[in-house]
Amino acid sequence: MYPWGNELELDGIHRCNVLHGDFPSENTLEDGYHETAPVDAFYTNDYGIQKMIGNVWELCSNKARIDREEIQVESIDEQIEIYQQGSIDYYAAKGGSFLCHESYCNRYRLKARNGVDRLTSASNIGFRCVQE
């Protein structure tokens, strides 16, 4: 369910930045952060990547809904071209954010995904730079 196992906490230690307390009125700060956390604040996976879940939603270059018939391998250049043309309105957002809570937005699990408009901006949406 999570990069480190099936429980949100591992050995009683918070591994990501999500809302703890009563959504939306109270954040108990159990993970130490009211809003976004520094990149190196939590769990690093076996690939050396941090913040795979929690903190901010990561806007992806693929569309939010992919029908089975449409799955095909596209190069990064093709994905960028599609994005710049604006031919798809909603893109996948993965990982959840500091505003996610198990009673409301339990989308910080690995299999969860969300869709957001490509022009959306908010304090809980970001992106990850990747180099091939």
Domain ranges across the chain:
1-131
Confidence at residue 84, expressed as pLDDT on a 0 to 100 scale: 66
Confidence at residue 27, expressed as pLDDT on a 0 to 100 scale: 92
Residues of the chain scoring pLDDT < 70: 66-74, 79-80, 82-88, 132
Taking alpha carbons only, the member of 47, 36, 42 closest to residue 99 is 36
The CATH superfamily label for domain 1-131 reads: paralog of FGE (formylglycine-generating enzyme) (3.90.1580.10)
Confidence at residue 39, expressed as pLDDT on a 0 to 100 scale: 81
107's tokens: 């989308």
Give φ, ψ of 40 to 5 degrees: -90, 15
Give φ, ψ of 44 to 5 degrees: -110, 130
Confidence at residue 29, expressed as pLDDT on a 0 to 100 scale: 92
Confidence at residue 106, expressed as pLDDT on a 0 to 100 scale: 75
